[in-house]
Amino acid sequence: MKAFLVFMLFLILQTDGLIDKTIDKTNLPKFEAREKRDYRSRTGKPGDPYIISTILNQPFLMQKPQTNRETGNELYYGFVADFTKHLADTLNFSYILRPSKSYGSAINETAWSGMVGQVIGMDADFAIADLTITSSRQSVVDFSKSYMTSGIGILMTKDVAPNMSPWVFLAPFESGVWTSAFIAFIGLSIGIFVLGRFSPADWTTTDQTGIAQRTNQFNVSNTLFFMTGSLAGQNTQLVARGLSTRLLSITWWMFCFFAAAMYTANLAAILVHHMDVVSYGPKIQGIEDLAAQSSIKYGTLASGSTNAFLSVPMYQRIYSTMESEDPSVFVNSYDEGVDRVRKGGYALFMEVTSIEYLVERDCELNQVGGLLDYKGYGIAMRKGHRSRMRPQFDNVILQARESGFLSTLKDKWFKPKEPVICEEAEAMNTRGSLKMRNFGGVFTILLAGVGLSLLVGFLEMLWRAHSISREQGGTISAELKREARYAIFGGVAPNKENNDTRRDDMALHRQDN
């Protein structure tokens, strides 16, 4: 009788629909929920591929050249491409990769940009990239377990000292001093030339063929040669004999002595300063040193987790400095930021995983200081229906981590196939040495002087050939050949007297015949 009453009560409750309200569906066994999963895309149609939002960033995801015939997911390669394929193969679902332009940051209280905004707005089912798990993002989307740990570091060039100009030898004096020195050189050259012409002691008398001739050693070319030799501390074998020319020569020598002393001292100071900067390395050893100076600008991505991290009160001073810079120090992509770093005078806050990838391949780049924080990358999914897949993603990530698949995948894409050997040992031995580019200006002057000398020598030979051809009626080309033959092989000089003798010998030869 009692069992019958219980049975009737059960029928009444079921008829009224109360039995569903008394059962807690959340306590159903988990295997039932997994059996009911259908891995549908955001369209809700069974069999449709999932839309995976991602972002192009070496080496996580890269795009093949457009000349290739690949389409769809085959266009992309990298860590994320391989990792997503592993997830799809393990959980048996199809997907489409759709690169986004940014990682995602809050626009206002309800709207987000980038990959996070696409997941929230149902434009994508999941976001798989080097997407950092943060508290603000986790408040609007769900994340899987971290599949890679990372942090924020500082990327700079190894040599932060500015490269010396090829014209560094002109640096000891400013342009006004060089101009004044040149004017002094020209002025005193004219002075010695004029005084030498008026000073009787600088004239000499020579007797050639019975005719007395007076000559003066301070002609224009000799005077310039004498002044230049004195400036360089060389003996030109020209001696001023007159009192006035000697006094002016001594004045020029004293000027050259003090000018050379000041030039040498200033040039040495400039070179020593450059060597100190190179020898002792960058003065920036961490974020504190970066904040304490103003010559090196620093920035980060215009949006993203790194930008949000630096805006916290702890780094408010640094972030305020970045916001006040003009032009802006914020960049739209890591590629843009790395290009600015390579140009010098700029430091970039970025994910340490990307820093490791760049440093492995570029000997000029270097990570400064340690990590500013520790974080992880996870798969983002919409809260609610899509979160049902989180246990499956977590399980695959744990298995991939335990089996070493993630470590192998990271080595594949982060370490270069052929290790880049940075010549650190040679750099240590030559640290502070002047490079060839620093002597560019000196060698330019040397080559210009050699070229000018060759040109003047050719013009002298051409003028001599022209003079002889006018006197003797020959051609310039014939005289040039005779001059060149004499200059190379020596012998009798091709002058007018020798040509007359040659013509007389030819006349006698014709008479004998």
Which is more confident, 432 or 171? 171
Q: How much of the chain, in percent, has pLDDT values that exceed 90?
A: 21
Cite the annotated binding site by residue number. Answer: 132, 137, 305-306, 351
pLDDT given for residue 12 in this prediction: 47
Q: How far is CA 142 from CA 146, 259, 443, in A?
A: 12, 74, 65
pLDDT given for residue 435 in this prediction: 58
Determine how many CB atoms are found less than 10 A away from the CB of residue 230: 21
Question: Could you tell me if 472 and 480 are in contact, meaning their C-beta atoms sit under 8 angstroms apart?
Answer: no
3-state helix, strand, coil in the chain (%, to 5): 55, 15, 30
CA–CA separation, 261 vs 240, rounded Å?
A: 25
Which is more confident, 42 or 420? 420
Domain boundary among 251, 280, 309: 280
Residue 396: inside a domain: no
Task: Please state the three-class secondary structure of 328-365 as a single string.
Answer: CCCECCHHHHHHHHHHCCEEEEEEHHHHHHHHCCCCCE
Taking alpha carbons only, the member of 446, 282, 440, 295 closest to residue 364 is 282
Residue 113: inside a domain: no
pLDDT given for residue 46 in this prediction: 60
**Sequence-ordered list of residues with C-beta below 8 angstroms from that of 244, at least 6 positions apart, any chain:** 195, 198, 199
Residue 195: inside a domain: yes
Domain boundary among 280, 303, 327: 280
Residue 227: inside a domain: yes
Weakest-pLDDT range from 90-104, 383-397, 492-506:
492-506
pLDDT given for residue 276 in this prediction: 56
The SS3 call for residue 193 is helix
pLDDT given for residue 453 in this prediction: 62
CATH number, position 189? 1.10.287.70
pLDDT in tens, 429-455: 444 555 556 556 656 765 775 677 667
Residue range of the domain that includes 183: 168-205+214-280
User: How many domains does the chain contain in total?
Assistant: 2
Residue 55: inside a domain: no
pLDDT in tens, 458-469: 787 788 788 888
Cite the annotated binding site for L-glutamate by residue number. Answer: 132, 137, 305-306, 351
pLDDT in tens, 374-416: 889 999 999 876 678 889 999 999 999 999 999 999 989 988 8
Task: Please state the three-class secondary structure of 407-431 as a single string.
Answer: HHHHHHHHCCCCCCCCCHHHHHHCC
Domain boundary among 254, 280, 306: 280
Q: How much of the chain, in percent, has pLDDT values that exceed 70?
A: 73
Residue 11: inside a domain: no
Residue 193: inside a domain: yes
pLDDT in tens, 285-301: 888 888 888 888 899 98
Weakest-pLDDT range from 180-189, 223-232, 276-285, 365-374:
276-285
Q: Read off φ and ψ for residue 300, nearest 5 degrees.
A: -155, -170
